[in-house]
Amino acid sequence: MADTALMPIPGQVDPVTVPREVTPRADGRVDLIGLARGQIAELFAEAGLDAKAAKLRAKQVFHWLYHRGVTDFAAMTDIAKPMRPWFAERFVIGRPQVVEAQHSSDGTRKWLLRTADGHDFETVFIPDADRGTLCVSSQVGCTLNCRFCHTGTMRLVRNLTPGEIVGQVMLARDALGEWPKGRMDFAEEDDGPEFDEHPAGHYTADGRLLTNIVMMGMGEPLYNFDNVRDALKVVMDGDGLGLSRRRITLSTSGVVPMMARAGEEIGVNLAVSLHATNKAVRDEIVPLNRKYGLEELLEACAAYPGASNARRITFEYVMLDGVNDSDEDARELVRLIKRYKLPAKVNLIPFNPWPGAPYECSKPERIKRFAEIVFAAGISAPVRTPRGRDIDAACGQLKTAAAKKSRAELDRLAEEKQAALG
């Protein structure tokens, strides 16, 4: 089953708590969502099918699960009717439980989801004129306490499993009504695909709303590498959710030792939460910088497999008033990008405030000026319009209401109180 342990990160010991294991389902059935074809075949073989049948059934079921989005074995028309209960007795096709679905006035949608063992996490869908982007979470909480990020005030509860990660995309497709529709090209009860490589038949799958995925929800995806990779493999599989890797972006706060592997084993677009151009400021706002510094990070970007002018690395830069938003910062940003010869674009993100946040957003004129300096150097530098602020769905606002104050937040509040007193 999915490994929910944090993977060891080379280098010093990481400041991570030990995540709790996922609790198995009470009814003993196994949820297939998140599993690869081979894993499904293994389970079918363990349950008694011979190797050849297990492989064939896994191929059929994989297609139904991920490409057609069915949640009931009874709907799998290329499996003989009497056989379908055999699957249903042993396996389930799960979805994350929806605790709350919110709709922003700007069209953004947010789902508060709950894992089978009772942990809350969030997914956000952001519709634009030319695309629809799903912002997917990789962990419940985050171990990295970036000071401007609300999620960073939660302690890490645990890594999300591949099923919980891919489940977010599936749930969004359910809600948007976007599973391929149309007629299947084989008869009900056709159990003949033993002789058929592609039991899918033909259908139309046009005009989708959900076109892109960004791993920019709660958590640091490169601290949950294996599960994120396995989930994205299913998302990218042509017979699975079928999204091209060019439409998927993984955002990291800079887990340098995992970046090359992300490029090689997942191959999606890379976004890096840079946010500062010198050690002092980055150490303060992205504490992971104390472990993997700017030079190392930018070298890892330069070496990222697949980065090119056609597939540029995105540098995210949150605009914090008086902290990282000067002309000098903008020029230094340009200098760094040029020095490391990075095919780059810069996303300027106006800081999204949250209650108790220690920063304010830069003034609009400041952001404009910053963008102009970067743009004048030939680097694309769009300013991101905050989306879904009214439902707390904007970047860095994700924090489930149920989450209790973390150790880090308590420490921070204590520090601030102390400072106010002193």
Residues assigned a catalytic role: 122, 395
Question: CA 141 to CA 399: how far, in whole Å?
Answer: 8
φ, ψ at 349 (rounded to 5°) = -110, 110
Least Å distance, CB 409 to ligand SF4, is 12
77 vs 251 by CB, closer to ligand SF4: 251
From 8-16, 87-95, 245-253, 405-413, give the range in contact with ligand SAH by CB under 6 A. Answer: 245-253
Question: CA 139 to CA 177: how far, in whole Å?
Answer: 26
Query: Would you call 213 helix, strand, or coil by DSSP?
Result: strand
Burial of 283 (0-12, 13-18, 19+ CB in 10 A): middle
Site string for ligand SF4, 220-239 (x = CB under 6 A): x-------------------
Least Å distance, CB 122 to ligand SAH, is 11
Question: CA 332 to CA 374: how far, in whole Å?
Answer: 10
58 vs 274 by CB, closer to ligand SF4: 274
Asked if 289 interacts with ligand SAH (CB under 6 A), we say no
Least Å distance, CB 208 to ligand SAH, is 24
Q: Which of ligand SAH, ligand SF4, none does 351 bind, CB closer than 5 to 8 A by kind?
A: ligand SAH
Copy the structure tokens of residue 296: 């190392």
Map the footprint of ligand SF4 across residues 253-292, applying CB under 6 A. 253, 273
Q: Which of ligand SAH, ligand SF4, none does 349 bind, CB closer than 5 to 8 A by kind?
A: ligand SAH
Asked if 19 interacts with ligand SF4 (CB under 6 A), we say no
Asked if 370 interacts with ligand SAH (CB under 6 A), we say no
180 vs 257 by CB, closer to ligand SF4: 257
To which residue do tokens 């497999």 refer?
305
Beta bridge partners of 181: 204
**Alpha-carbon Rg for the chain in angstroms:** 23
Asked if 393 interacts with ligand SAH (CB under 6 A), we say no
Least Å distance, CB 20 to ligand SF4, is 19
Question: CA 320 to CA 315: how far, in whole Å?
Answer: 15
78 vs 220 by CB, closer to ligand SF4: 220
From 143-151, 175-183, 359-367, 375-383, give the range in contact with ligand SF4 by CB under 6 A. Answer: 143-151
60 vs 352 by CB, closer to ligand SAH: 352
Question: CA 356 to CA 287: how far, in whole Å?
Answer: 19
Residue nearest to ligand SAH (CB): 396
Question: CA 401 to CA 241: how far, in whole Å?
Answer: 31
Question: CA 348 to CA 351: how far, in whole Å?
Answer: 9
142 vs 248 by CB, closer to ligand SF4: 142
58, 172, 216, 234: which one binds ligand SAH (CB under 6 A): 216
What lies within 8 Å, CB to CB, of 143 at 6+ separation is 14, 15, 16, 17, 155, 156, 220, 223
43, 65, 149, 348: which one binds ligand SAH (CB under 6 A): 149
What lies within 8 Å, CB to CB, of 238 at 6+ separation is none
Query: Strand pairing of 269-273 and 313-319?
Result: parallel
Question: CA 248 to CA 213: how far, in whole Å?
Answer: 5
Angle at CA of residue 375, ends 372 and 377, nearest 5°: 115
Contact 400, 96 (CB under 8 A): no
Asked if 142 interacts with ligand SF4 (CB under 6 A), we say yes
> How many binding residues for ligand SAH (CB under 6 A)?
16
What lies within 8 Å, CB to CB, of 38 at 6+ separation is 58
HEC assignment per residue over 226-247: HHHHHHHHHHHCCCCCCCCHHH
Asked if 394 interacts with ligand SF4 (CB under 6 A), we say no
4, 77, 133, 253: which one binds ligand SAH (CB under 6 A): 253
> How many binding residues for ligand SF4 (CB under 6 A)?
11
Asked if 268 interacts with ligand SAH (CB under 6 A), we say no
Burial of 239 (0-12, 13-18, 19+ CB in 10 A): middle
Asked if 152 interacts with ligand SF4 (CB under 6 A), we say yes
218 vs 367 by CB, closer to ligand SF4: 218
125, 148, 225, 315: which one binds ligand SAH (CB under 6 A): 148
267 vs 396 by CB, closer to ligand SAH: 396
Query: Would you call 302 helix, strand, or coil by DSSP?
Result: helix
Going by C-alpha positions, the residue among 311, 309, 300 that lies closest to residue 267 is 311
State the residues that interact with ligand SAH by CB under 6 A. 146, 148-149, 216, 220, 251-253, 273, 316, 318, 349, 351-352, 395-396
Interface residues with ligand SF4 (CB under 6 A) are 142, 144-146, 149, 151-152, 219-220, 253, 273
